[in-house]
Amino acid sequence: MNLPAMPGDLAPPTLTKNARIVLAKRYLRKDLEGKPIETETGLFWRVAATVAAEEAKFEKSPYAEADLAREFYELMTSFKFLPNSPTLMNAGTEMGQLAACFVLPVSDSIDEIFDAVKYAAMIHKSGGGTGFSFSRLRPQGSRVGSTGGVASGPVSFMRIFNTATEQIKQGGTRRGANMGILRVDHPDILEFIRCKEREGDLNNFNISVALTENFMKSAKKGEDYDLIATHTGQSKGTLNAGDVFAILVQKAWESGDPGIIFLDRINRDNPTPHLGDIESTNPCGEQPLLPYEACNLGSINLALMAAAGDAAAVDWDELRRVIHLSVRFLDNVIDASQYPLAQITDMVRRNRKIGLGLMGFADLLFQLGVPYNSGEALALGERVMDFFQTESKNASKQLAAERGAFPEYGQSAYAKKKLGPYRNATTTTIAPTGTLSIIAGCSSGIEPLFALCFSRNVMDGEKLMEINPYFEKALRASEAFSQMLMEEVARTGSIAHIEMIPEELRKIYITAMDIEPVWHLKMQAAFQKFTDNAVSKTVNLPNSATVEDIRDIYMMAYETGCKGVTVYRDGSKSGQVLCTGQGADADKAEGKAKTKVKHRPDVVYGFTQKVKIGLGDLYLTVNEMDGKPFEVFATIGKSGRSITAKAEAIGRLVSLALRSGVSVADIVEQLKGIGGENPVFQKKGLLLSLPDAIAWVLENRYLGGRIAATEENGSLYHPTCPDCSADLIFEEGCYVCKACGYTKCG
């Protein structure tokens, strides 16, 4: 694409070190060797000029193309607004696909199922994420009329989608991400709820159960409900809704999966019901879409909307200006985007959905001196989102006057209510902003901060301290700032336990795990009240949270008008507490350590890896159960009795630890780095000794080449970034790396 020459007087963006790392790694255009071939200024001009070029198509536009390109550039480089990642990556490139969110239908035939696999691969290659409802597929054990065979059910086909995604993410610009949804009245619902019990299964899927109004009413009363085979519309039996809801809550307690969406509520807000029912959402759940529909998103940085000179106010006039310009930007993106399928192009341009949201809400609260867990914060959230909704609709109405309403407007819910006309069927979404917020240097979405301060490894063992700037400013003003104090804050991320910090600051500068779960949900509901689509938000719970706590959150989400909810109990997703359940909690409280060694079956399967160490060739055999290491045998070729004895002893002890429930991460942590007299280079690093070599094999096989972070008590495990090894945090429904911008959800 030929872009206009970049003006020589453009001010380059002011970027943090983290932002430069993220842009260089994920967004700047690169040559065949992976080296950047554009500057940060060039990136933002490429995007601004490409999106502004669409303005020339509309005679009634009040903007000249060159002037609008400059306005878009200044909008992004001031970090008051940023579009979704595919727009930053692909605008002005041959790829040209600018939307983040897609939903594809999965119909009940082999041809249609594998069409969906193919289409998903095309979308992942272009940088988008895909959502699917598998509810149309006939249940496991049903007869297939054309062949006389037996259907294998939705979960079996989800594994095919998962495998395809695994391959595409290895060659694509972004990792593929999927949402898998199944209606609660599908006959295979129990298998679906349990489909991610084993860690690593369906690793490229988030999953959510689509709950209906009838189910929720039955669950409250403990009544049975009908299971419906959607390919025939016939009943396939009943289940007790209370029991199903209990299993759903139990699994969410164990691992965070599955989440839930309220399907009837979503469809009540479907602006174009004549085009069909909404069946699914995008991977993080905030964008419900019709089959073959896509949506592009963008976020305004509220941290920059505090009124200058007034510590207790929002600059509403500037926010209005930015909202109107951002809506114009996102509407232009629809026409600038090259969608991967004709069906998607058609559906997108009939409805012209956009999703304008926000980031930096926690930073705004810091500036205004408002605690996140307060009625004042909830009231501000409602007021802000009400303003977003009103002004985004006003902006869409202005665009309709210039360009025409979205083509399906005449049959839409808006026309029936005599609202509009609008250019866009939806205008607001609260989307994840994990990577965008790093570029903008602000807090993510409407989430509280996960940590006020943390240390990041940079190179050669050097650590860089990252401190929230508003917290640091307040701490210095109170004369409580010190390097020693920052190291203590970095250890936990929180100041709730540090009494030397003034109490007023401890109330305002509160972090995600300090906040009672109910406040997370109240904030989500406050923003949902004025959002067309849905809200990406994680309800964080401590590891000590009970199953009943999660049940209460799910019920409260239903009762307060949320369209779905994602919960995360600390430490539950990537490695469990050694003993789970109420009995384990009781034992822990009493200081007891009960360990039960698993019985070895007669037959186990595994692998043998050859590793060259200083003592000779090590042959390490690792046998597995349920995909996890169960026992280890170490043999060294042509070694003496002493070395053989050491190898056997280490193997026996590691095997005992594995069968006793000790995590691979803990074993690696103990063995890794032990020195020996004959170190040797092997592949990516130096192997110091026999135990170091065993740790190297286990780490690369089961931990992706990295060791999981462990809390002081040794019981909770958190995954680390596969790109930079920093800790991942779970917010906005996804794992995100605050150091380099990696996100598991694309």
Give the separation between CA 403 and CA 409, rounded to whole angstroms. Answer: 13
Lowest mean pLDDT among 158-162, 541-545, 641-645: 641-645
Each residue's pLDDT tens digit, 51-95: 999 999 999 999 999 999 999 999 999 999 999 999 999 999 999
Cα 133 to Cα 43: distance, rounded to the nearest angstrom: 36
Q: pTM for this structure?
A: 0.82
**Catalytic: which of 40, 54, 55, 286?**
286
Question: Nearest-5° angle of CA 664, CA 708, CA 253?
Answer: 90
CB 402 within 8 A of CB 58: yes
Q: Which pLDDT band, with edges at 50, 70 and 90, does 194 fall under?
A: very high
Check 282, 332, 533, 623 and give the catalytic one.
282
Query: What pLDDT does 586 receive?
Result: 35
Task: Tell me phi and psi for residue 192, to 5 degrees.
Answer: -65, -45
Q: Helix (H, G, I), strand (E, B), or coil: what is residue 125?
A: helix
Q: For position 682, what pLDDT does the model report?
A: 60
Q: Is the omega angle on the peptide bond into residue 62 within 30 degrees of 0, that is, cis?
A: no
For 706, the enclosing helix (H) or strand (E) is: none
In the structure encoding, which two tokens stand for residue 203, read together? Answer: 């690793």
Q: What is the pLDDT of residues 19-43, one digit of tens each?
A: 998 999 899 999 999 899 999 999 9
The residues with which 210 forms a beta bridge, in sequence order, are 183, 261
What percent of the chain clears pLDDT 90, i.e. is strictly above it?
A: 66
* Cα 145 from Cα 112, distance rounded (Å): 16
pLDDT digit string, tens, across residues 474-521: 999 999 999 889 988 988 889 999 999 999 999 999 999 999 999 999
Q: 544-599: per-residue pLDDT in tens?
A: 899 999 999 999 999 999 999 999 998 776 433 222 233 333 333 333 334 567 77
- Please tell me the distance from the alpha carbon of residue 576 to that of residue 723, in angstroms, as a whole number: 23
Is 284 catalytic? The answer is yes
Task: Return the bridge partners of 540, or none.
Answer: 568
Q: Which of 441, 372, 615 is nearest to 21 (CA)?
A: 441
Where helices occur in 453-571 by DSSP H, the ranges are: 469-477, 483-492, 503-508, 517-528, 547-559
Catalytic, out of 284, 295, 562, 745: 284
d(CA 316, CA 332): 24
Q: pLDDT value at position 116?
A: 98
Query: Would you call the peptide bond into 542 cis, given omega within 30 degrees of 0 as the criterion?
Result: no
